[in-house]
């Protein structure tokens, strides 16, 4: 569906660069809370992922305890490194910083954020926009990330664990978006599922605390906003 053919009208404009980080987060979080719909349902892969068994959200992909095939975001006081390309949209780079802060709000553990240089670690979180992030495009070219149903749509995101995505990395939790807002919405969906309400920025709703956070296997998408 093209932007011009969206029956609900054009999406809200992206805040300009002079918009404060808090205002940016508030606007996009509210948009995500109000307009996002599960047009592309979360689906389990043949590896045995069960998206409906998340610790907090029956339709989610985050659990507060390890499960078969899950990837640890935070475990035993250590957090997976967040990776984003410096050449991605400024809003995406900012959203990765928000995700870092949200993980710390929930667990007390602050993840490291790196740009482009992927650390040789067991697991990382890789965030990027299709066609804008060389790291995401590399996974697509290598056929390690299937973006059918996401690419060429507007404001659509995909969350998926990818095995052996890059040299030295055993697994990555990939958050990929069709465009800038798609990637930002994908990152904020993770924040929501780990326990940070979209209303945190509007009404001081306290985050839900957890010692551990794990991503469940499967291919997950919130679909295109209605």
User: Can you give the pLDDT at residue 42?
Assistant: 39
Encode the chain (226 residues) as per-residue pLDDT tens digits.
Answer: 333 344 444 444 444 333 445 555 555 655 554 444 333 333 333 333 333 332 333 459 999 999 999 999 999 999 999 999 999 999 999 999 999 999 999 999 999 999 988 888 789 999 999 999 999 999 999 999 999 999 999 999 999 999 999 999 999 999 999 999 999 999 999 999 999 976 555 556 778 899 999 999 999 998 888 7
Output the pTM of the full model: 0.76
User: Can you give the pLDDT at residue 146?
Assistant: 96
Instruction: DSSP for the chain, please give it.
Output: --STT-TT-SPPPPPPTTS-HHHHHHHHHHHHHHH---SS--B--TTT--GGG-SS-TT-SEESS--TT-EEEEETTEEPEEEE-TTS-HHHHHHHHHHHHHHHHHHS----EEES-----SEEEEEEETTT-HHHHHHHHTTSS--TTTTTSSS-EEEEEEES-STT-SEEEEEEESSHHHHHHHHHHHHHHHT--TTHHHH-PPPPP-S-EEEPSSEE------
User: Can you give the pLDDT at residue 26?
Assistant: 55
């Amino acid at each position: 569906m093209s932007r011009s053919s969206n029956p609900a009208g054009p999406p809200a404009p992206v805040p300009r660069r002079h918009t404060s980080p808090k205002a940016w987060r508030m606007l996009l979080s509210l948009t995500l809370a109000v307009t996002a719909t599960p047009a592309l349902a979360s689906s389990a892969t043949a590896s045995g992922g069960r998206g409906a068994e998340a610790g907090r959200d029956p339709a989610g992909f985050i659990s507060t305890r390890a499960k078969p095939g899950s990837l640890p975001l935070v475990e035993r006081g250590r957090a997976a490194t967040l990776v984003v390309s410096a050449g991605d949209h400024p809003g995406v780079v900012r959203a990765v910083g928000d995700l870092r802060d949200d993980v710390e709000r929930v667990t007390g553990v602050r993840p490291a954020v790196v740009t482009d240089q992927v650390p040789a670690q067991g697991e990382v979180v890789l965030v990027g926009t299709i066609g804008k992030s060389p790291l995401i495009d590399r996974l697509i070219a290598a056929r390690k990330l299937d973006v059918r149903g996401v690419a060429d749509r507007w404001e659509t995101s995909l969350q998926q664990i990818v095995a052996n995505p890059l040299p030295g990395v055993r697994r990555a939790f990939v958050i990929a978006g069709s465009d800038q807002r798609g990637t930002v919405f994908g990152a904020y969906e993770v924040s929501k599922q780990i326990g940070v309400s979209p209303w945190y920025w509007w009404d001081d709703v306290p985050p839900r605390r957890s010692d551990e956070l794990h991503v469940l296997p499967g291919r997950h998408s919130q679909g295109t906003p209605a």
